[in-house]
Amino acid sequence: MKKLYFITGSQDLYGEEALKTVSKNSQEIVGFLDKKVANRAEIVFLGVVKDSSTCLDYILKANYDKDCIGIITWMHTFSPAKMWIRGLSRLQKPMLHLHTQYNQRLPYQNIDMDFMNLHQAAHGDREFGFIAARMNVKQHVISGYYKNEDFINEVIRFTDVCLGIDHAFNLRVAMFGSNMRDVAVTDGDRVQSEIAYGWNVNYYGIGDLVCIINEVKEEEIAQQLEEYKKKYICKTDNLQAIKEQARYEVALRKFIQKEKIDVFTDNFQDLHGLNQLPGLAVQDLMQEGISFGPEGDYKTPALLASLLPIIKYRNGATGFIEDYTYDLLEGEEIELGSHMLEVPPSFAVNKPEIQVHPLGIGGKADPARLVFDSIDGDGLQITMVDMGTHFRIIAAKIKLIKQPEAMPKLPVARIMWKHIPDFKTSTEAWMLYGGGHHSVISTALTVEDVKLFAKLTNTELCIIDENTKL
Minimum gap (Å) between residue 238 Cβ and Mn ion? 25
Task: Using the minimum distance from each CB to Mn ion, give the nearer residue, 266 or 322.
Answer: 322
Burial of residue 134 (CB within 10 Å: 0-12, 13-18, 19+) is: exposed
When the beta carbons of 295 and 335 are compared against Mn ion, the nearer one is: 295
* Of 281, 295, 302, 157, nearest in space to 228 by CA: 281
In terms of CB distance, is 70 or 294 closer to Mn ion?
A: 294
Alpha-carbon gap, residue 349 to 336, rounded angstroms: 16
Closest contact distance (angstroms) between CB of 220 and Mn ion is 30
**Closer CB to Mn ion, 321 or 461, in the complex:** 321
- DSSP characters over 424-446: HHHHHHHHHHT--SEEEEESS--
- Return the range that interacts with Mn ion (CB under 5 A); candidates 41-49, 60-68, 70-78, 320-328: 320-328
Give the nearest distance from C-beta 258 to Mn ion in angstroms.
Answer: 27
Residue nearer to Mn ion on the CB measure, 34 or 270: 270
Please count the other Cβ atoms lying within 10 Å of the Cβ belonging to residue 272: 10
Residue 162 CA to residue 167 CA, distance in Å, equals 8
Instruction: Kindly state the smallest distance separating residue 318's Cβ from Mn ion, in Å.
Output: 18
CA distances from 182 to 127, 177, 301, 328 (A): 52, 14, 20, 29
Binding region for Mn ion (CB under 5 A) out of 165-173, 221-229, 291-299, 310-318: 291-299
Q: What is the DSSP letter of 365?
A: P
Enter the DSSP assignment of 179: S
Shortest reach from residue 172's CB to Mn ion, in Å: 22
Instruction: Specify the DSSP class assigned to residue 309.
Output: G
| Residue 266 in the binding site for Mn ion (CB under 5 A) | no
d(CA 50, CA 422): 54
Q: Which is nearer to Mn ion, 309 or 319 (by Cβ)?
A: 319
Give least dist CB 368 to Mn ion, A. Answer: 19
- Minimum Å gap between C-beta 369 and Mn ion is 15
Nearest partner of 403 among 433, 362, 381, 371, judged by Cα: 371
Size of the site for Mn ion (CB under 5 A): 2
Please report how close the Cβ of residue 384 comes to Mn ion at its closest, in angstroms: 15
Residue type present at position 463? I
Between 180 and 274, CB nearer to Mn ion: 180
Q: How far is the CB of 464 from Mn ion (least distance, A)?
A: 21
In angstroms, rounded to a whole number, what is the distance separating the alpha carbons of residues 450 and 465? 13
Report the SS3 class of residue 84: helix
CA end-to-end span of the chain:
45
Nearest residue to Mn ion, scored by beta-carbon proximity: 322
User: Which lies closer to Mn ion via its Cβ, residue 160 or residue 295?
Assistant: 295
Minimal distance in Å, beta carbon 200 to Mn ion? 23
CA-wise closest residue to 427 among 333, 306, 320: 333
Using the minimum distance from each CB to Mn ion, give the nearer residue, 284 or 322.
322
For Mn ion, which stretch binds (CB under 5 A), given 52-60, 262-270, 290-298, 309-317? 290-298
| Binder of Mn ion out of 166, 284, 322, 335 (CB under 5 A) | 322
Q: Environment class of residue 276 by beta-carbon count within 10 Å: exposed (0-12), middle (13-18) or buried (19+)? A: buried
Smallest gap from Cβ 295 to Mn ion, in A, equals 5
Find the radius of gyration of the CA atoms of the chain. Answer: 25
Pairing of strands 377-386, 391-401: antiparallel
Residues contacting 455, CB < 8 A, separation 6+ = 138, 139, 140, 461
Near Mn ion by CB under 5 A, which window of 316-324, 359-367, 411-419, 428-436? 316-324
Distances (CA, A) of 211 to 77, 216, 258: 64, 9, 13
Give 95 or 382: the residue with its C-beta nearer to Mn ion: 382
* Closer residue to Mn ion (CB): 154 or 295: 295
Dist. CA 266–CA 10, nearest whole Å: 54
- Reported in sequence order, the residue ranges of 10-147 that DSSP labels E, i.e. its strands, are 42-49, 68-75, 95-99, 139-143
In the complex, least distance from residue 294 CB atom to Mn ion, rounded to whole angstroms: 5
- Pick the piece of the chain touching Mn ion (CB under 5 A) from 62-70, 295-303, 422-430, 457-465: 295-303
In the chain, the largest separation of any two C-alpha atoms, in whole Å, equals 84
Which CB sits closer to Mn ion, 125 or 295?
295
Which residues, numbered 364-403, are part of the site for Mn ion (CB under 5 A)? none
Chain residues that interact with Mn ion, rule: CB under 5 A? 295, 322
